[in-house]
Amino acid sequence: MSDRTQPSSDRFDYDYIIIGSGFGGSVSALRLVEKGYRVLVLEKGRELKAEDFPKSNWNLKRWLWMPKLGWRGLFQMRFFRHVTVLAGVGVGGGSLVYANTLPIPKRGFFESASWAHLADWERELKTHYATARRMLGAVPNPTFTPVDRIIKQVAEESGKPFDKPHVAVYFGEPGKTVPDPYFGGDGPDRTGCNLCGGCMLGCRHNSKNTLDKNYLYLARKRGLDLHADTEVDAVRPLPGEGGGYRVEAKHGTSRLRRCRRSFTARNVIFAGGVLGTVELLLKLKKDPKALPGLSERLGAKVRTNSESLIGVIGQQRKHDLSRGIAIGSIIQTDEHSHLEPVRYPAGSGFFRTLMAPHVAGEKAAVRLARMLGTLARHPVRTLRAAAVPDMAKYSIILLYMRSMEGTLRFRLGKVAGKRMTSGLESGKSPTASIPEATELAKKVGAKIDGDPYSLITETALNIPTTAHILGGCCMGDSIETGVIDKDHRVFGYDGLFVIDGSSISANPGVNPSLTITALAERAMSLIPPKAARDG
């Protein structure tokens, strides 16, 4: 790997092109612009304003990312053999749909054998976590809703610690707009949160601290170029001795009328998350004119947070459980696992179309028998749950996570141009059947006279659902052991970086957005200002 201080040249359109505008890409954009570099961000999704966000997830065209149908929303679901992945799309990436929570992982993450030999991560990231929380406006959740009360009761009855998360929300006075409260007036106005529960549909009230209101906002004021609706499909080294890359993309919102665009840059940062970065790099590795020399470890060590998503649909109708922020409380079940209640706003019941009674059991025959048994024993309750007038108001979604090891390998399908497929690489295959999660769901259900439900892919196939897919471009000490080095530089290609969730090389066991942000801050801190670099 050559010295990162190699001078850039004005023969390039940009010093850096960043592919993706999520937590890794947005941080990189601001810090590079601040250091004097010419930076372009390319984002395949739309740039959404408050009025573009759906009021409920029944508005599929505004909510879902399914461009083949002409739906260019902010939320995508990808179904793999071993996991169903939920992710964000649009200017601001995952920040548009994530649940605002910004936890710092426990020590086991930093000391994991998968990457602990590369750096003292806990020490090196400490200041960057603090910077990330400040930039994202993280504060301990000051609210206490009926759902939080239920979760606290379950925690006390189970003898487990109850806590409130740090969240990226401006609370202030509900509905009141004030001048920028975070960056000394340099940022946008903000409005106090009204606890509508709509965080994960895109905040319509200017209260959620998404990346377009901090990192990207400040970067654009300092000269960042950003092109939305621009999907990169090629990155090729430029001929000659000067290095650099040509980035090619399709621009436009119509699949039939998209135009080609081409840009050159000395450096390229891949920041499209696992679904974007890993899939693109796998395609570029197969192209002899693109990046065939990428590590054979590309697509390896893909992790989830070993999650279980269970919706508890209550029979009671006296409380509106949709009021509050997306995640407002936590039960820390042990050192390696925890439970969080999640909510959507009133009127958001789309997921009922994909749900079936939650049952435990590793084997398909056992789960099927238990599901049929549940339907036979409780037909009235099942029908009443299916016909719940407003699922968001009368149910609680439970997100259980644990920091257990076990990895997948992502590859391209055998048919040319086919999308990624998953395979088991090491450890046990991810599972939707986690006994502790099931027991906690039953305890929560007892508080609202409710029954647990899961996505049909979990009940029928035991395939878990995750909003936290990580890895695939993991760190190593050589091209034989990793795709990138500890400073996020791609082995074998000077000027290429990966800075997103695909670079996370251990299981954090918690919502990873803060960790991606902190890692990006660290990576950018290692790049000198342009004047020093050119000198």
Please list the active-site residues: 468
Answer whether 52's CB lies under 8 Å from 91's CB: no
Whole-angstrom distance, CA of residue 63 vs CA of residue 74: 6
Whole-angstrom distance, CA of residue 442 vs CA of residue 454: 13
Strand 14-19 with 190-191, pairing: unpaired
Helix (H) or strand (E) run with residue 281 in it: helix 279-286
Helices 364-377 and 379-386: crossing angle, nearest 10°?
90
In terms of Cα–Cα distance, which of 143, 148, 104, 142 is closest to 126? 104
C-alpha distance from residue 494 to each of 35, 402, 482, 525 (Å): 20, 36, 15, 18
Exposed / middle / buried, residue 524 (Cβ in 10 Å: 0-12, 13-18, 19+): buried
C-alpha distance from residue 339 to each of 129, 330, 396, 440, 513 (Å): 22, 6, 12, 8, 17
* Other beta carbons less than 10 A from residue 362's beta carbon: 12
Q: Which residues contact 216 (CB under 8 A, 6 or more apart)?
A: 21, 26, 29, 30, 41, 91, 92, 224, 226
Whole-angstrom distance, CA of residue 80 vs CA of residue 274: 13
Answer whether 440's CB lies under 8 Å from 332's CB: no
Q: Which residues contact 379 (CB under 8 A, 6 or more apart)?
A: none
Distance between first and last Cα of the chain:
20
Helix (H) or strand (E) run with residue 270 in it: strand 259-270
Whole-angstrom distance, CA of residue 119 vs CA of residue 138: 26
C-alpha distance from residue 418 to each of 38, 415, 434 (Å): 35, 5, 32
Whole-angstrom distance, CA of residue 358 vs CA of residue 403: 22
DSSP designation for 495: T
Q: What string of H, E and C letters represents the secondary structure of 450-484?
A: EEEEEEHHHHHHCCCEECCCECCCCECCCCCCCCE
Whole-angstrom distance, CA of residue 116 vs CA of residue 108: 10
Helices (H), 72-223: 107-110, 121-135, 146-158, 215-221
In terms of Cα–Cα distance, which of 437, 438, 429, 432 is closest to 408? 429
Triad 248, 474, 425: Cα angle to 5° = 110
